Structure 1
Amino acid sequence: MNLRPFALTSLALTLVAGCGAAPSSDTSPLGLDLLVEKAVTDQLSAFQIVVLPDGKQRDCTELQKTCLNQKVRLDELLPLHDARGRESRALRFLENLSGTGVTSQDVSFEAPVGRDYVLVIEAISNESPPRFLGSSCNYLPEVNASRNDPVIAAPMTLTTVDCDPTF
């Protein structure tokens, strides 16, 4: 596979309140709107979403160079819940993009209420075994039980890294 480097410059994620299942006492619903250039969608299989504590102590540039599972331990990841209420430390959403030119996909999940987090979204290839296509790393200063301010994700650049990002 020839992965020529090009930016997913229109990959933007917006976190908004009100998406997903009703929140429990210690989680907050978050919605992600994934926007991706149509030109790269033929390489994508899924997106993997994780949230890490101690965001101010983490270097997003370093976290994005290769698979996150080579940088952090599974027990460091915060527990997340998908829209059906299933818990996982790394949520995986199959690529289900729609639209023309710039395609989009809505994703929702619940994250623990707290402060100083990092949200990492990894693009996963459709190869077997899966390969890391790139990631977006975003500081989340606070996740509230009720209303969350919108967050625009950092752009994702596709890279050729021979690692399986699956946790």
Structure 2
Amino acid sequence: MSPRPFLSLLLGATLALGCGAPSEAGTGLGLELRMSQAVASEVGAFQVVVLRDGRERRCAELQRACVQQQVKSEELVVLQGPNGKKGRALRFPAALSEGGTQQMSADIPVGRDYVVIIEALSRTNPPRLLGSSCNYLDSVSATRNEPLIAAPITLTAVECDPTIAP
């Protein structure tokens, strides 16, 4: 399964997730994204989803295709974005700075044993999956949380529409 040549630069893309105490706006999980500028022109958005029972899930399997093709909608944890909107997936338009970084945030419920998946979506309509990052999150507490360093985006050669309805 060979990825498209322009996607080969995604291999070097990395994500860093930092958890902090919830702010007055309710932001519980801060996400900082770092990506190669050579890939930035292909990425239209980033979609964030969270699943319970994280240790029972295999990241390698979840990264082979769009998450929405592999799990039932009710398995997705309801998240709240910085704008107050809630959904089973949060989508952030790609707005990478010159340094290849982007700030995002989301509220996730206090709990244990999550898996956080960040999918890079193409600019095309309908979007297609360019790659994803799968990360185990042991717990989210009501107080300050330790930062989580996310795994690099894994290339995906599967054509699928990753769109998850709210």
Please, what TM-score do these two structures have when normalized by structure 2?
A: 0.90
Counterpart amino acid of 1:118? V
Partner of 1:157: 154
The answer to whether residue 133 in structure 2 is matched with residue 130 in structure 1 is no
Aligned to 1:114: 111
Task: Give the equivalent residue in structure 1 for 2:84.
Answer: 85
Query: Contact between 2:66 and 2:129, CA under 8 Å: does it hold in 1?
Result: yes
Q: Is the 8 A contact 2:22 2:143 kept in 1?
A: no
Q: Residue type of the partner of 1:15? A: G
Q: Residue 21 of structure 1: CA displacement? A: 4.8
Please tell me the root mean square deviation across aligned C-alpha atoms, in Å. Answer: 1.6
Cα offset, 1:85, TM superposition: 1.3
Counterpart for residue 97 of structure 2 = 98
- CA deviation vs aligned residue, 1:27-46 (integer Å, no higher than 9, x gap): x6110000011110010000
Deviation at 1:13, TM superposition (A): 1.8
Q: For residues 90-137 of structure 1, what are the alpha-carbon distances to aligned partners after superposition, in whole Å with 9 as ceiling and x for unaligned?
A: 00000010024xx00000110000000000000000011110101000
1:139 to 136, 139, 144: 136
In the TM superposition, residue 161 of structure 1 has moved relative to its aligned partner by 1.7
Classify the secondary structure of the residue corresponding to 2:124.
coil
Q: Aligned residue for 1:74?
A: 73
Shift of 1:22: 3.4
Paired residue type of 2:32: D
**Is contact 2:63–2:156 with CA below 8 Å preserved after alignment?**
no
Alpha-carbon shift at residue 3 of structure 1 (Å): 2.7
Q: Which residue of 2 aligns with 1:65?
A: 64
Letter in 2 for 1:16: C
Distance, in Å, in 2 between the alignment partners of 1:128 and 1:10 is 23
CA contact (8 A) 1:12 1:33 kept: yes
Q: TM-score, normalised by structure 1?
A: 0.90
Measure, in 1, the Cα distance between the counterparts of 2:29 and 2:59: 21
Unpaired runs of at least 5, structure 2: none
